[in-house]
Structures are given as C-alpha cells and as structure tokens.
Structure 1
Amino acid sequence: MASSQSREWEASDRKLRRELGVQQLFFISFGSIIGSGWLFATLNGAAIAGPAATISWIIGGILVCFIALNYAEVSCMLPRSGAVVRYPHLSHGGFLGFIMAWAFLLATVSVTGVEAEAAVQYAASYATNLNLTTTSNGVTVLTGLGLLFAVLLMGVFFLINFLGVKFFGEFNRWVTWWKFAIPVITFVLLFFAFKSSNFSSAGGFAPLGGGEVFNAVATAGIVFSYFGFRQGLDFGGEARNPQRDIPLATIGSVVVAAAIYILLQVAFLGALNWNAAGVHPGDWAGLATSKWADGPLYHALNAAGIALLAYFAYVLLADAIISPSGTGLIYMGASTRVFYGMGMHRDLPGGLTRVSERYRIPWVALIASLIVGCFFLIPYSGWALLVGFITDATVLTFVMGSLHLQVMRRTAPNLERPFYLKGASILSPLGFLAGSMIFYWAGFDNLRGVIASVLVGLCLYTFIQGPVRGRFSRNVGLAIGVPYLIIFAATQYFGPLFSNSLPFLLYWALTAAEVLAFAGLVWRFTNQKREVHAAWWVLFMMFATYLLSYYGSYGPLKTPLVPFPWDNLIAVVIGLISYYWGVAAGYQTEEMKEIAESGTGLVTPEEEEMERRLG
C-alpha cells in the first residue's frame, strides 16, 4: 500500500496532460539545445583551442551522449515531470536530493534570463538609438531599458507556458523548425568562403596545446550549447508513450545538434578573415576581444565578400533573437517543472505543486520561475556574466544519471525497463566521469562561484525539508541552519569570491570544515541518518575537485603545481572514487520501495481514468 505522500505525487502527476509525442519531445530538447550558445561558442572555442575546437565539439557531444544514455533508462522506467530533481530522492534520499535539486534549480531558472539577455543584446546591434547595452569592466551588459525589455520578453515566455503544455508543444515545434534551418543554412553558406589554410598556417591545428581542447569543452560555451538534452526528461510525465519517445527524443536531439555544431565550427574556422576581425593571423586568443566578438557568424558572413552571404547575415540577426527566445521559452517551462519537483519532495514549499484545473500546468511554480528568473538579471545583467555560472551549476548535476541507473537496478530490479542500457558496467562510469571531468575543466574561476552558491543553500534544507518531512524539529533546523549561514557567508566574503584576503588553502580548509560540521550536525539530529551517509561522496567530489582546480592547469597559478595532463589523471581518479562511493551509498528509500512493490513506475492511462472518475 502506497503512503499518502506517494499517492499525492501520483495524483498530482495525473493532472498533467499527456499530450506530447516523440516529435514534440524531440523539438523540446533540440529547441532548447539550439539557443544562444551556437551564436557565440564557435568563436569562443577557436579563441581557447584554435582549430582543435572542432575536437572539443566532438568530445562534448560524446560525453553528453554518455550522460543521456544513463538518464534514458531511468526516465523510461520512471517518467516524471521535473524528473531530474526527483530521481535523487528515490536513489539517495532527501539530503542529497536537496543538494542536487538546489544546484539544478540555480542553473535552470537562470537560463531563461540569459536567453532573454542574448536576444536583447543582439537587438542592440541594430537598434542603436535605444541604448539597450553598455560596457562595464570590459563586459557588455544591459542598461536599465535593456533589462526592461528582457523582463518583458520573459513575460511573453510566461504567457505561452501558461496556455498549457499542448499549445506550448505546438508553438515550440514551429519555432524549432526555424532554429534548425538557420544554423544549417549558415554553415552551408560559410563553406563558400572556406580557406583550408586556416587550419594549418596560423600556428597549426592545436596552437594553444592539448589541454585547452578540454578546457574549451567546459568554458567556451560548448557544453552549455548541449544542455537542452535533459528538457525532454523534465516533460516525461506529459509524454504519450514515454517508453519509446523519451530515449528517441533525448539521444536524437544530441546527435543532430552535435552534427550541426561541428559543421558550424569547421565552417567558421574556414571562413575566418583575420584582417576583418582586426587580429594578427595566429593570435587565436585575440579573437575573444576582437571586432567579431559581438556576433562572430554574422561578421564572418559579411566579411566573405559574397553578396548572398551578406544578405543572409541580416536573416542571422533576426535568428539571434528568435533562437534565444525559443530556448528561453522552453527553459521557463523546464524550470517550472524543477520548482514543481522540489515542491513535491518538500525541498521548497508544497504550494508549488498546485496544478491549474483549466490549463493543467503547475501555475504557482510557473509564477515562481518568472520571478526568480527576473531576479537573476540584477547581478548578472550580461550574457557573458551568467553563462559561466549556469555551466558549472548544471554539470554538477550531470553525474547523477549514472548513479540512478546503478542504484535502481539494485533497489528495484523487477520494474519494467522499456529502455535497458546494455554495457552499463562501462557506460555508467563513463557517464559519471563525463560530468565530473567537465566540472573540473570549467576551471577555478567558475568553480568558486558555483560551489559557494550550492553550499550556502544547505541551510534551506534545515529550514524547510528537514522539519516538514519529520527529520527533526523546526527549532533544531533553525539552530543548525542559522549559525551555518552566518559563518559560511563570512568565510566566503573573505575568500576568492569577494575580498580574497585569506590564503586559498586556509579558505578551502575553513569552508570544508564548516560544511562537514553542518552535515555532521544534521546526521546527529536527523532520524534518517542514512540520508546523510548517502551524500558524503558528493561533498568529497566537490572539495577535492575545487582544491585540484586551484593548483592544476586550469587554475590561477602561472606555474601550476600539478600541470597537464597529470591534473586530469588525478581528476579521473577523484571521479572514479566518487562514482563507486556514490553507487555504494545509494539505497532503497521509502519512496523507491513503494514504487518497486507496485510493480511499475508508470502512471498508467487506467489509473488516470480512475482518478478522473473518482473526482
């Protein structure tokens, strides 16, 4: 017999309309993949790795496929809306579930803002009389008027999502056809200006070294450009045939996008005109601040000297608004499902699970997504400022797919698996390493902000989920959470994020001690101690990677203490230890036990019809 909470989750999921087929799920994933990233990442990749950025796109696509394959088995077995934030609760319990949900929420809800920023910034290139952008500390940011336009655009995303998932799926399908066509036409036209000498005469194929090939995967916007693959999973509870449609849509979107990205990178490199960009031939790093930095593909088409390409450049400018807007639309829907999922597990207030009877969408979560998304525009008022944060916060959650698969095979072996991943003994560790290595390749400058943002949110666990789910009393939660918040915030102020007045090793040791003390107190007072044991591995991975990032080849030291490739080998060891620790730490949670005893992870049409008849 399922518990009242389990029945509540199932009943709430049944209210969501199952209207999305494989084509619509594909377009949701593919449409969110093709956003603002492809407009910038070709130049950023070339600036970091030179022509070898082509390899970076291939590596990124392969790694994301490893991650997606592991998620596909679990999402077919347990199709749920807000799936990514709900699975950790089933495999490792509420404490780790909160950590991963919080990290994913930080990343997902801010994407809506970054895509709105991208659209407004491109509009500023021809609407010069409106003064939508300005420069601050060498970075393009939105003015007050620009921020107003970004907020209005997010309001449009809100209205389309509010009309319901069926209208959303149909609307997105037509927008995504446009988003598919424009990148394809762009690389085809750029090949008319192709010069093969750009791949060899300007310092060779990998002029900046092999290590930068991996660094580009994480920091050039390459992995960011693939992030949309998981959006089909977040709409899993609204799929007509999840067993077939989810894996086809998820893997298919990655493969198609990878082919387009690789061809775009090759075409851009071949069409690169050093003189037009105002950069000395071979100065690949100089591209990042060149004349082409504000719109590389647009400038490459214009500089080709071919009339057809110059005319199409104006179409590309229009797409620079449409593509980010389409992705922002999808991510507002996705972040709504994240709020919904966190409300289900009481990571956040339960009112977020309210579903509109008329439109069948989680309307309170949708409002929260709009408000929080707008909030991110205040400190991160420019596209470049927000992308790095989003990338690192998201890849931290990538590692969970492999753990879900292995833990659930152990805790729910008899559940039907419409998609069964063969060779998981190899593909699961590879999927985990894909996420953990991208997390490391992002470098110290990005890691410091993400780790601080994720760990400061731990106090919310003691304020909300712990007391609500009966792990300890509210007074105990406040007694643990309030001192932690004050002490942790003070340490971060004196650390590398703000004043940077503490030596890094001392700052790192203090931060680690504070987090471990917090987790130890939660373990001491909770009545579900296994939940805390199940989360130790992620704290180890975060702090070990953070320490290595400072002393490794992607850190601030001019002469790294641990140079490439030895730092990467150590990162692999950290990843493998974390993977096997994480698999061993998983257990059969109460929710997973109920699902396993039911014999199916699906909310069936018969159950849905019975729920409707019962009112």
Structure 2
Amino acid sequence: MASDVAAAVPSPGTPGAGTAEPLGSFEQADVHLRKSLGFTSLLFLSMGAIIGSGWLLAALAAASVAGPASILSWVIGGVFIIFIALSYAEISGMLPRSGAIVRYPQLTHGSATGWLMGWTYWLTALAVPAIEAEAVVTYVGGRYPSAGFEATRHGVVVLTGSGIGFAIGLMVLFAFVNFFGVRLLGEWNKWFTWWKIIIPTATFCMLFVAFRSSNFTGLQGGFFATGTANVFVALSTTGIIFAYLGFRQALDFAGESIRPARDVPLATILSIVLGMIIYALLQVGFIGALVWHKAGVHPGNWAGLASSSWASTPLYSALEAAGIGALATFASLLLYDAGISPSGTGWIYLGTATRTTYGLGVGRFGPKALTRHNRFGVPWLSLLIALVIGCVFFVPAPSWYKLVGFITSTTVLTYIMGGVGLPVLRRYAPNLHRPFRLRGAWFWAPVGFLAAVMIVFWTTYVTLADVYAAVFVGLPIFGWYYAAEHGWVDRPKIGVLGAVFLAAWIYIQFRGGWVMRVVTPVDPARHGFWSFATYDVASSACVAFYLVGLYLLANQEGRRHVRASVWLVVMMLALFPLEYWTADLGPHTTEPVSFTVGTIVAAAVGLVCYFWGVASGFSTPELQDILAGGGAQAATAVPPSPSPAETPAPAPAPATFSSPSPPAPEGA
C-alpha cells in the first residue's frame, strides 16, 4: 500500500505538500465513503451473500432438473464463476470502487455500454433482497400453512397478499440495518455469517445419517437420469449460479475497504471456493436423504419434486422424513435458520443495491442526489430508492422459483464485461498499479467472458425473454437523461424517439406473449399472440431502430459511445433465436438444433463478439479522469489510522480522504 499512498500524497517540500493530488469528478464521490472493512468483513460479506436462500431451496430445484448429476452442476457452476472472477480480481485490485460492477463498463466501453450494463445490474441488485424475503416467507408459510402466506398456482408456489405484506416488512428491516453505516453492517454480518456457515455444515452432516446410495444409481436413468444437457441447464434455472453471485460483494464494497488492493481479490476467490464445497456437500446429502413416498413423488420422478409437498421446505422435510429423533430436533433449528440466512443475505444485497444506485449517480447516469450520504456515510437516498423499487418485484414475480432465473441471467450478463474489459484496461491504462496481475490473461479473459455468455445462454428461452424485455426497456432512459444532459442530442428529438421506442417495445412484448408469465406458455401463437419469427424480428428491429436513431441524432462524441456498444447488442440479439431453437432450452420438445450444436454455435458467437468487444474499447473520458486525478488508488488512498510504514511523508492525510474519528482497522 505504501506505493499506492505515495501516488496520491505529494512529498513534503513540493507545492501542495500535505494535500493529495486533485481527483477528477468521476473519482471525487468515493472520498466520502468510510474505509472501515478489513479482509474478514469482505470475505464474510461475500460468504454471507453466497449462503442465503439458495442453500435452503436450490438443492431441491437442482435435483428436479438434473437429478443426481446436479452435484456436478454445483462444481461446474463454481468453476465457471471462478473463471469470471479472475478478470475482476485484477480490475478490482487496480480500481477498488463502491458500486464497482456498474462503473467498470463505462471506463472501458463508454457511456452507452455502461448504461446498458448498469441498468441490467441495477435491476438485479434491486430484485435480490426481494427474493431473499420471499425465501423466508416461503419456508415459514410451508411449515405453518395456517398463516396463509403462500398458495399454489398452476403447480408453482407463490406468495399471497399477506405473504407479500410480511416480505415487505422484512425489506424495511434490511433497510434499517443498512442505514446506520457499513461498519455496523460489516460487524453484524460477521456474526450472522458464522451462523450461516455452521448450520449448513451441520445440515449436510445430519443428512448423511439418513443417506441412501440407491438414490444416485439405483433408479431409472441412473446418475444422469434427466440427461447430460440438464446438468448445464440447472446452472441458471435452479439457483446454482444465483447462490454463487454473492462473490461480488467484496467488489461492490471495495470503496469502503481498508486494504482493497490485497483484500478484495483474495476475499472474492476464497468465498467462491468455500461456497462450492458447502453447496456440493449439501446436494449430496439432500439426494441421499430423499424419501420418495413421503414427498408424494414416485421414485425416480425428479421433475415431480418441484411441485411436491417438499418444495417449500426441502431440507427441513428431508431431515424430518428420516424418522430419527435427533434429526427431527435439528430440523426445527433449520426453521430458525430459514429466517436468518436469507435475511442476512437480504440486507447485504440491499446494501449492494444501494451502492449500485450510488454508482449510477457517480457515473452521471442518474441525479447527483443519489450520491448524498447521511452522517453514517451511507448513500441514504439510494437506499430509499432500492427499498421502494425492490418491493415492486413482489407483484410480477411472487415466487422464489420464478424470480431466481431472471436474477441469474441479468447478473451474469453484466459479468461478461470483466473478461472484455481487462485487455482494454491493459491497453489504455498500462501504468496503473496492479497489486494482482492475472497471468495468462490472453487466455483467462476470453474464458471468463465465454463462461458468462454460456451461463446466460443456458438460462432457457422463456427466462431470457423476460431478461431482454427488462434490459432494453432502459434504452430510452439513457437517451432522455444521459445523452440529452451531456448535450449529445437535441432533447425534444430524443424525447420523441424514446417515446416511440417505448410504446413499440411494450406493444411488441405484449403481442409476443412470453413476458411476465408465471406459467410457461407452450405455444403463444395458438392463443392469439405472434409467432416467434414475427416476435423476434419485431424486437430486433425495434432495438436497431432506436440505436440507429440515437446515432444519427447524436454529435461526434455521442456516436463514438454508441458504436462502442454495438457488439454487445448484436451478441444479445443473435443468441435469442438460437436459444429458442436449441433442444432443452427452447419452449418446445422438437427443436431442430441439438443442445450440443446450439452450445457450440453460441460459444462461437460469443468468441467473435469478445474480440469485437475488445476492439470496441477506447480510452473513455472517465478513464482519463482517473489517470488525471492521481491514478487508481486516489479515491481510496489513505486508510484510517495508517501506520508509519504506510505513510510516505509526515504530513497528515487530507481530511477529505478519511472520515471523522475513524475506527481502528479490523480483519486479517
């Protein structure tokens, strides 16, 4: 850290000694954040997010899709997330920023790409606290049906009005924890995360007491009972990747880390490895403890688990069904954890949603008011917005099992920017200090990119239709606010263009018949909706119409940013029809493209778009702002209470870089 601090604090005897190098406007906002999170807090923030509702519900969901081979799904998912995280390990060490995920794309590919990714990630960040609250209510409602918190609609467990009201109350609790500062959040979360590690570990140990090896190989179809393709389909659709998404917490809180250069990359990778071990063992334990007749399902009917009596409380039901007194007693403890684990993850993710909203404000994608802090150093307006909009997700998606696929796809879609952004930063910012430098980045960057692309591709067409509908609806907001605010376009003209696009987009999604469905439609064309060909062409034409219109209306600067985003839009639109016609991913049973062929073609499309995306990167004004403002570590240059070895000059650090009465450093 000494070299990092020296880059920001001039030597005595020079002009401005005792004051830091001036920050550019893009960096200035982070100086108000309190640097109070050590390695342990960062690791536990990621672990606390990884072990949330996924460990309670994903084991049954994964088994219902992939059968016993769902164990492999957990391992493959963990490896894929590590591939993705490798690029972010270098970038986050070099550029530790709060709300990092939504800020990196803007640095490497400009504001149009930054907006698309920021909007997408924002939707996800807002939805996760809601799904964690849904998990709590689902478990409580399943154990105590008299509460009337949930009902079954077309075989899907959904929340009732009273259940949604209870979930909103939990969201308010999450906001309360976040309001009083990141220090309180880190300390509170640390103790809850110990609980969240101990209980899952004890659970899979208990499940092994009732282990039945016949559930793995003794049933029809054996280990790959539902086919090998479903091993990959389960990644995105059952909560597996969703569970791992917590690794990004260390990245999002990097601006509030004491030693971000060392701690953020290490906490990120270690959290994934520990999570993978815990989840794989839980999956083995759950499958081994299955008692088919008590679940009301015929032995070997893996798909039937999703609508069985165990769907609301899978692990509790497995322990109770074992008929062993000690296991039944422990199952009661599991009910308490059903409130603790998702709640712990919920308030962490509400903090993430707050910092994502804050990051949009820093990137000037929203009003500057989004960066305002309370006296605890928390962006309070961003917190309020995250709370209110997060509660809105209860209306169209009142089910954990339905919301999980949407969250997974939207989040991982934003993660493609790590692999494509790393070579761009090496090209245009080669001299930025890199505490962690990824060896073999020429190989690992595209591998991480393709890992993210394939996870999105395997999410199934029906989910992807919802994702694209939500992502592209943000296009006119970019034109109305950002492009007009920066003088790229004439405000009245972009207003008309955006209004036309929005009206057409809503109409197209309605006529397509796929979006916001609790029950998957078999063939919307039979119910008065458009055929897929008409829907796909209309959707693609609508997006192209807006981007071409924005390009023609924009000045030279605006056009450069629009051009830098074309590769991303083309890739998304190209994968859509391919997924529709690929077996096990499309909505029909007679798709003409096999799963293997569809996957290979999707990977080829992704690889072409990777090199296109790298070539599209440029030295953005925001990146130049960082370089002009003192380098990567400027905004986080001086941690609280630095040791003499860390301080290059006797002059004290400027007040703007530290908070009043800073707490002592914590963690390893």
Deviation at 1:497, TM superposition (A): 2.2
Contact 2:125 2:353 in 1 (8 A): yes
Contact 1:274 1:280 in 2 (8 A): yes
SS for the counterpart of 1:487 is: helix
Superposition pairs for residues 140-159 of structure 1, below 5 Å? 140-159=157-176
Matching of residue 561 in structure 1 with residue 596 in structure 2: no
Matching of residue 255 in structure 1 with residue 300 in structure 2: no
What is the aligned partner in structure 2 of residue 502 from structure 1?
530
What is the aligned partner in structure 2 of residue 535 from structure 1?
565
Deviation at 1:16, TM superposition (A): 0.4
Q: What code does the residue aligned with 2:278 have?
A: I
Alignment equivalent of 2:395, drawn from 331, 355, 378: 378
Contact 1:31 1:327 in 2 (8 A): yes
The 2-side partners of 1:609 and 1:122 are apart by 50
Matching of residue 413 in structure 1 with residue 441 in structure 2: no
Matching of residue 22 in structure 1 with residue 39 in structure 2: yes
SS for the counterpart of 1:215 is: helix
What is the aligned partner in structure 1 of residue 617 from structure 2?
586
The 2-side partners of 1:368 and 1:5 are apart by 31
Contact 2:32 2:659 in 1 (8 A): no
Deviation at 1:611, TM superposition (A): 2.6
The 1-side partners of 2:152 and 2:213 are apart by 35
What is the aligned partner in structure 2 of residue 522 from structure 1?
550
What is the aligned partner in structure 1 of residue 238 from structure 2?
220
SS for the counterpart of 1:511 is: helix
The 1-side partners of 2:388 and 2:469 are apart by 22
Q: What code does the residue aligned with 1:524 have?
A: L
Please say which of residues 465-474 and 484-493 is displaced more in the overlay: 465-474
Please say which of residues 401-410 and 119-128 is displaced more in the overlay: 119-128
Contact 1:346 1:469 in 2 (8 A): no
The 1-side partners of 2:72 and 2:286 are apart by 14
Contact 1:14 1:608 in 2 (8 A): no
Q: What code does the residue aligned with 1:201 have?
A: G
Q: What code does the residue aligned with 1:536 have?
A: V
Deviation at 1:614, TM superposition (A): 13
Contact 1:133 1:140 in 2 (8 A): yes
Contact 2:23 2:629 in 1 (8 A): no
What is the aligned partner in structure 1 of residue 500 from structure 2?
483
The 2-side partners of 1:49 and 1:220 are apart by 10
The 2-side partners of 1:146 and 1:295 are apart by 16
Q: What code does the residue aligned with 1:510 have?
A: A
Deviation at 1:268, TM superposition (A): 1.2
TM-score normalized by the length of structure 2: 0.89
Q: What code does the residue aligned with 2:581 have?
A: Y
Q: What code does the residue aligned with 1:371 have?
A: V
Deviation at 1:544, TM superposition (A): 1.0
Alignment equivalent of 2:49, drawn from 26, 32, 42: 32
Please say which of residues 56-65 and 549-558 is displaced more in the overlay: 549-558
The 1-side partners of 2:417 and 2:244 are apart by 17
The 1-side partners of 2:155 and 2:298 are apart by 21
What is the aligned partner in structure 1 of residue 575 from structure 2?
545
The 2-side partners of 1:29 and 1:145 are apart by 31
The 2-side partners of 1:451 and 1:613 are apart by 42
Contact 1:407 1:587 in 2 (8 A): yes
Deviation at 1:127, TM superposition (A): 3.7
Contact 1:67 1:398 in 2 (8 A): yes
Q: What code does the residue aligned with 1:392 have?
A: S
Contact 2:142 2:150 in 1 (8 A): no
Contact 1:92 1:589 in 2 (8 A): yes
Contact 1:402 1:431 in 2 (8 A): yes
SS for the counterpart of 1:140 is: strand
Contact 1:26 1:232 in 2 (8 A): yes
Contact 1:496 1:504 in 2 (8 A): no
Contact 2:155 2:307 in 1 (8 A): no
The 1-side partners of 2:417 and 2:653 are apart by 30
Matching of residue 426 in structure 1 with residue 443 in structure 2: yes
Please say which of residues 21-30 and 271-280 is displaced more in the overlay: 271-280
Please say which of residues 79-88 and 139-148 is displaced more in the overlay: 139-148
The percent of aligned pairs where both chains have the same amino acid is 46
Deviation at 1:610, TM superposition (A): 4.6
The 1-side partners of 2:144 and 2:69 are apart by 36
Residues 313 and 524 of structure 1: is their aligned pair in 2 closer, same or farther, counting only changes over 3 Å? same
Superposed CA RMSD in Å reads 1.9
Deviation digits for residues 469-507 of structure 1, max 9, x if unmatched? Answer: 222232232022111111111111111326651111121
SS for the counterpart of 2:359 is: helix
What is the aligned partner in structure 2 of residue 268 from structure 1?
286
What is the aligned partner in structure 1 of residue 102 from structure 2?
85
Alignment equivalent of 2:603, drawn from 572, 595, 603: 572
Residues 225 and 134 of structure 1: is their aligned pair in 2 closer, same or farther, counting only changes over 3 Å? same
Matching of residue 45 in structure 1 with residue 62 in structure 2: yes
The 2-side partners of 1:613 and 1:276 are apart by 59
Deviation at 1:213, TM superposition (A): 0.8
The 2-side partners of 1:363 and 1:8 are apart by 21
Deviation at 1:344, TM superposition (A): 1.3
Residues 163 and 608 of structure 1: is their aligned pair in 2 closer, same or farther, counting only changes over 3 Å? farther
Deviation at 1:143, TM superposition (A): 2.1
SS for the counterpart of 2:586 is: coil
SS for the counterpart of 1:134 is: strand
SS for the counterpart of 1:399 is: helix
Contact 2:22 2:629 in 1 (8 A): no
Contact 2:61 2:239 in 1 (8 A): yes
Contact 1:349 1:464 in 2 (8 A): no
Deviation at 1:608, TM superposition (A): 6.2
Deviation at 1:612, TM superposition (A): 6.2
The 2-side partners of 1:64 and 1:614 are apart by 35
Q: What code does the residue aligned with 2:624 have?
A: K
SS for the counterpart of 1:124 is: helix
The 1-side partners of 2:376 and 2:168 are apart by 23
SS for the counterpart of 1:286 is: helix
SS for the counterpart of 1:260 is: helix
Alignment equivalent of 1:237, drawn from 255, 262, 268: 255
Deviation at 1:422, TM superposition (A): 0.7
Please say which of residues 587-596 and 242-251 is displaced more in the overlay: 587-596
The 1-side partners of 2:213 and 2:552 are apart by 64
Deviation at 1:599, TM superposition (A): 5.3
What is the aligned partner in structure 2 of residue 312 from structure 1?
330
SS for the counterpart of 1:141 is: strand
Contact 1:414 1:596 in 2 (8 A): no
Superposition pairs for residues 272-421 of structure 1, below 5 Å? 272-356=290-374, 358-421=375-438
Matching of residue 160 in structure 1 with residue 177 in structure 2: yes
Runs of 5+ unmatched residues, structure 2: 1-7, 9-20, 516-523, 639-646, 661-668
The 2-side partners of 1:386 and 1:210 are apart by 25
Alignment equivalent of 1:106, drawn from 112, 116, 123: 123
How many positions carry a matched residue from both structures? 612
Deviation digits for residues 317-353 of structure 1, max 9, x if unmatched? Answer: 1111111100100010000001001111122222111
The 2-side partners of 1:469 and 1:341 are apart by 18
Alignment equivalent of 2:656, drawn from 606, 611, 615: 611
Q: What code does the residue aligned with 2:489 have?
A: F
Contact 1:12 1:355 in 2 (8 A): no
Contact 1:6 1:591 in 2 (8 A): no
